[in-house]
Chain A
């Protein structure tokens, strides 16, 4: 292949290394040529050196210091015994089968070894080479068949990678199945050792970008739904609650119900659901609570704006209420006019075009690739519950009126612990997803964050917060790095879920105490300017010894009396 080798370095791009037994340059192109974030710069390693590259850290391809790696091999090329099995070149099928499995294990071990050099590894599973004809009666036979082998080998990969949080096994058989055209292109294999068709590469690039976005926290968090002709068929204000189309036996009603089920699935994995509808609030809420075919009920939504106001205005109000940026919102509405208006006024909001037919709503939602999450933790499953408790807390505030009394009545408890293996996934998620209350906006993957904490000069603290309404989970973290008499607050991050309760005062109070205990005479917290981290900068501005400095004045820092803080060592 005489592809142009462009040795350009883009400082703000993430370096990706592609390792394979065939030419992966087309994938590199597709991953790079996409205007959406993150920017990727790909190096396709010379094909056919998979083991050498994985095992030898001094191989020249590592000089680009990749942050991400894709290892995409074909079983019949990288596992010699599998190729023999495929072509019946053996004396004993079971011996060859076992040998192929051993070769597969060696490759898996090599991937695990190389995974310590990068933040994230993507490994597409092995797929059946559909351009080969094999005997169907044998394909699934135990210790003989090729389909049997690939299933077993892929399961083995999943088991080997189970303990490695930074290796993601991608389901290439799903990519293959989703293509109407062939996944393989043997002409291009002859011309340029490119085994996979352009269509498969396109599918792979889309899926990989989505996984990468998820691992960097660049995903959507909130879905805003319209009601009439979006969650149900018809206009409830005109047709009446009895006549809207929702649920069996009406075919259209079944489509809307399927769409609600798909939304419920998103809610179950931590995506927040909200409503923005031009309707009578009382009537609409009564349908949501009482219609027998509703899948989504009031408790599934963390907020709503059901009124006759402009939708853009309502979206801004929802974002303020949830303390989340509009760039984490997805707006679903059947009306092209409403979509257009939101698109024009709030360009940060993702406004996909709902298909014209409601039968396409559910599959369309499933096809959106903006909700990818690298890991699912307790917080994701319980997020809706936590936001609901927050709504109740605010209602208490409205009743009691006085903020100090209200804060005291919350009985806030903060429990602090050093960063632990168990808390690492959530801590890294918090570090990478928090935009507002984040002083330095440092972004690190789990491994790098852990490695940083291993340095004896550095400490990371995690904060769990609860009050009488419920448990917020791990919502704060801070870190300090001590050099001689100086301590620097390297990270200070707090989830917007606990903003407005003076929890940040407690977090800083504890962090400063730790810095002092380490012998530091001078504590600095230089802020980093970001587009949305005003809340964190404003808070620290009140803690500095002088207006333009970054030195903390310890006399301005204390743990508020309404918060009880406990150390878990």
Chain B
């Protein structure tokens, strides 16, 4: 989780990612940040997200990202 938080902080600093339920609805991140997040997750965890996986539901909270990564075979 700490690693995820540091990836998110690099994209946009000074946000309470752990305390948020939905980064996009709560205004912590916007859709352009989402594209940067995809690039960071792919290079850090060596995974490939397909077009239908690049949706806010998969990337909107620490829990959602963790679920996505576990589904892609990453052990966190």
Task: Give residues in A with beta carbon < 8 Å to B.
Answer: 1-4, 25-26, 29, 181, 187-188, 190-192, 194, 197-199
Contacts and interface: CB of A to CB of B under 8 A. Distances in A.
Interface residues of B, number: 13
Contacts of B70: none
Given A29-B36, A198-B36, A1 B51 contact: no
A197 B51 contact: no
Contacts of B43: 181
A-B pairs, top 8 by smallest CB distance, nearest first, are A198-B39, A187-B51, A4-B30, A3-B32, A190-B51, A25-B32, A2-B31, A191-B54
Contacts of A25: 32
Given A26-B32, A187-B50, A191-B54, 12 more contacts: A2-B30, A2-B31, A3-B31, A3-B32, A26-B36, A188-B38, A188-B54, A190-B51, A192-B31, A192-B35, A198-B35, A198-B38
Nearest to A30: B36
B47 interface: no
A25 B36 CA distance: 11
Scoring A4, A187, A190, A197 by chain B CB atoms within 10 A of each residue's CB, the highest score goes to A187
A194 B36 CA distance: 11
A3 B38 CA distance: 16
A151 B38 CA distance: 33
Contact of B51 (A2, A26, A191): A191
Chain B binding surface SS class:
helix
B50 A1 contact: no
A194 B30 contact: no
B7 to A, nearest CB: 13
Nearest to A1: B31
A29 B32 contact: yes
A197 B36 contact: no
A198 B38 CA distance: 9
A198 B54 CA distance: 14
A22 to B, nearest CB: 13
Interface string B41-67: 001000001110010000000000000
A187 B49 contact: yes
Contact of B39 (A1, A4, A192, A199): A199
A25 B43 CA distance: 21
11 contacts: A2-B30, A26-B35, A29-B36, A181-B43, A187-B49, A187-B51, A188-B38, A191-B54, A198-B35, A198-B38, A198-B40
A383 to B, nearest CB: 40
B39 A197 contact: yes
A1 B35 CA distance: 11
A423 B57 CA distance: 59
B71 to A, nearest CB: 17
A3 B36 CA distance: 13
Contacts of A191: 35, 51, 54
B24 to A, nearest CB: 9
A453 to B, nearest CB: 42
